[in-house]
Chains A and B, each alone.
Chain A
Amino acid sequence: MMLKAARGAKPDSFRTESAGDKVLDIIIWALVLFAVIITLYPFLYVVSVSISDGAAVARGDVLLLPKGFSLDAFGMVTKYKQLWTSYGNTFIYTVFGTIANVIFTCLGAYPLSKKHFFLRRPLNFFVVFTMYFSGGLIPTYMVVTGLGLYNSRFAMILPVLVSTYNMMICRSAMSRVPSDLFENASLDGASDFYMMLHIAVPLIKPTLAVLTLYYAVARYNDFFNAMLYLGDAALQPLQMFLRRVLILSSSEILQQAGTTGAAAAAQNTLKIRYVCIVLAAIPIFTITPFVQKYLIAGTMLGAVKG
């Protein structure tokens, strides 16, 4: 009753609040707006440059919105074969890598979630210890190349088969599944494998969705393993291609497009680079907004109590 009366006396709206609160409200508004602008601006600018007229870009006229309209840079980039080779490679690594990641994560997480499993504690320690300590770059490089994985597609999948952190998240999700479900199935003669597949996995679907997303993004963005283990351009993923074009030099595309002369090169270099960024960001920007509901749930998974 009291609360209601109080609220009636001081309705919670901008118009009726005190001057100090109004100032704070405006500051908050400005802060959030600023955050949105600095996040969006680089992307909008990149898109604008990529579709603007080359001469306007070279003059530096494009600041936010496109000036003129020309898709010639898209033409040059999409005609360049290496782009599609690397896009295809990234597709392969992302799809197969993610599938392998999720399967192995479940296989590892399920036994570790079983309280009665007699090796649970030692294996748990065995796995978690790798989060504390690692052999380091050089010994890992030796092992991977020693296994003959240099210039092999498996180098993009096997060394990053399981993320310990993700497996721990999966484990705690599985251990929250009511044990009665497993006991009953077990009395009916169900095997552990069957129970994992038909009880544990379906019940932790939201968690698995988040982990799948994290894994897929990691595989899509993986540059490190490619740089270390893939010297052959025919096997390299998109990120390697992007590094060459964006950071080192775009001359390869200009040359194949038959662009000659310093002026034409200057006009097109920036556009070509920004086209590449647009092409690389499209998959991420189209998928993540759709899975945002899982994402927000996902970041909460990190705080595993143990």
Chain B
Amino acid sequence: MNRRANEAGSTVVYMARHPLRKKFVRDWRLLLMFLPVLIYYLVFCYLPMVGIVMGFEDFRMGSGFAGLFTSKWVGLQWFKQFFSSVFAWRLIRNTFLLSFYSLIFGFPIPIIFAIAITQLRAKRFGKVAQVITYLPYFISTVVVVGMMTNFLSPSSGIINQMIVRMGGKAVNFMSDPHWFRRLYVISGSWQTFGFNSIIFVAAIMGIDPELYEAMNVDGASRWQKIIHLVLPMISETIILLLIMTLGNLLNVGFEKVYLMYSPAVYETGDVISTYVYRQGIENHSYGYASAVGLFYSAVGFVFVVTSNWLSRRMTGSSLW
């Protein structure tokens, strides 16, 4: 024990005296091990960050990535074009509202479900219910949107068949702008509530049984136990997750919107990321699309940094 402490001490002194080169000699194997990962990050994460320059250029695809250095510099032209276009406000509003409604509607459900499942008297049924309800989480977005599209189809969908049977008129849900946000939020919640409840279930299971006993002694009702014991005990988890969710508030799932929307619902369904996709990949306006994408990344950056700062201040923990 003593010997090891001495050794550690002498290593510190040694390191202080012999800087960088010695450290390389000591840790080169770790560095070598990390090298493939380093290359991955440089190529697929940092090189695209360099590519942001495109947002300030009249970028032409023909020249490939090298076109970065040869394309004409246009300064803030694309940003001005975006913010003066009729799309800017609509896209920002749609992106924000889609996430906001998902949060308002989607965040409390897993908590309620977790409380219900842990308060359930039939313990085995609770376990089964938990396994069943998190299954949809692993189903691909394509399948979820595919099911939704077919269930809601005006001609053959089961929902509309029911509506017609009950004397109503078939609704073309998927191409009705009024329905887009609701469908997005409901299907999202359907897919994730079971999985998202797992963390709350674990937090509730972690509550000391003696606290329940103590409340029993006081003659507390089940409702009182939920309000005065369970909720306070999981409040930290709730706050932490809420902050994390806020950090990713603008990360609207591109894939899902892309699979769900059509020009008929652009009014409510078109979000910044799908617009970037259409402008860039489909219309080849690379410079313009990169500029809009950069605006999106920058706003996202502010959100994540703020939420992480909040989390560290309020709960003492953060993602990293």
Number of chain B residues whose Cβ lies closer than 8 Å to a Cβ of chain A:
103
Q: How large is the interface on A (under 10, 10 to 19, 20 to 34, 35 or more residues)?
A: 35 or more
CB < 8 Å: which of B31, B47, B133, B165 contacts A39? B133
Quick check: B193 and A63 within 8 Å, CB to CB?
Answer: no
CB < 8 Å: which of A20, A137, A158 contacts B273? A137
The secondary-structure label for the interface of chain A is: helix
CB < 8 Å: which of A18, A277, A305 contacts B146? A277
Quick check: B132 and A40 within 8 Å, CB to CB?
Answer: yes
Complex-state Cα separation, A84 to B318, whole angstroms: 44
Complex-state Cα separation, A217 to B300, whole angstroms: 26
Judged by a CB distance under 8 angstroms, whether A161 is at the interface is: yes
Quick check: A63 and B158 within 8 Å, CB to CB?
Answer: yes
Complex-state Cα separation, A300 to B241, whole angstroms: 12
Quick check: A192 and B30 within 8 Å, CB to CB?
Answer: yes
- With a cutoff of 8 Å between Cβ atoms, the chain B residues found around residue A281 in the complex are 139, 143
Quick check: B44 and A161 within 8 Å, CB to CB?
Answer: yes
Indicate whether A110 sits within 8 Å of B33 (C-beta atoms), given known contacts A136-B290, A137-B273, A143-B44. yes
Per-residue A-contact encoding for B67-90, CB less than 8 Å = 1, 0 else: 000000000000000000000000
Closest-by-CB residue of A relative to B318 is: A306
Question: How far in angstroms is the closest Cβ of chain A from B168?
Answer: 14
Quick check: B48 and A134 within 8 Å, CB to CB?
Answer: yes
- Which of B31, B139, B320 has the most chain A CB atoms inside 10 A of its CB? B320
* Chain A residues numbered 216-250 whose CB sits less than 8 Å from any CB in chain B: 217, 220-221, 223-224, 227-228, 239, 242-243, 246-247
Indicate whether A35 sits within 8 Å of B223 (C-beta atoms), given known contacts A25-B121, A46-B147. no
CB < 8 Å: which of B54, B139, B254 contacts A284? B139
Judged by a CB distance under 8 angstroms, whether B310 is at the interface is: no
Quick check: A143 and B199 within 8 Å, CB to CB?
Answer: no
CB < 8 Å: which of A35, A114, A117, A192 contacts B194? A35
Closest-by-CB residue of B relative to A49 is: B158
Per-residue B-contact encoding for A1-24, CB less than 8 Å = 1, 0 else: 011001100101110011011001
Indicate whether A143 sits within 8 Å of B43 (C-beta atoms), given known contacts A114-B30, A295-B134. yes
- With a cutoff of 8 Å between Cβ atoms, the chain A residues found around residue B289 in the complex are 137-138
Judged by a CB distance under 8 angstroms, whether B221 is at the interface is: yes
- With a cutoff of 8 Å between Cβ atoms, the chain B residues found around residue A104 in the complex are 36-37, 40
Quick check: A223 and B140 within 8 Å, CB to CB?
Answer: yes
User: A residues within 8 Å of B by Cβ?
Assistant: 2-3, 6-7, 10, 12-14, 17-18, 20-21, 24-25, 28-29, 31-32, 35-36, 38-40, 42, 45-46, 58, 60, 63, 104, 107-108, 110-112, 114, 116-119, 123-124, 126-128, 130-144, 146-147, 158-159, 161-162, 165, 167-168, 183, 191-193, 196, 217, 220-221, 223-224, 227-228, 239, 242-243, 246-247, 266, 269-270, 273-274, 276-277, 280-281, 284-285, 288-289, 292, 295-296, 299-300, 302-306
- Report 18 cross-chain contacts, Cβ distance below 8 Å, ordered by A residue: A6-B213, A18-B221, A39-B133, A39-B136, A40-B132, A104-B40, A116-B27, A137-B293, A138-B54, A138-B280, A138-B281, A158-B44, A191-B29, A221-B141, A280-B143, A285-B135, A296-B198, A303-B199
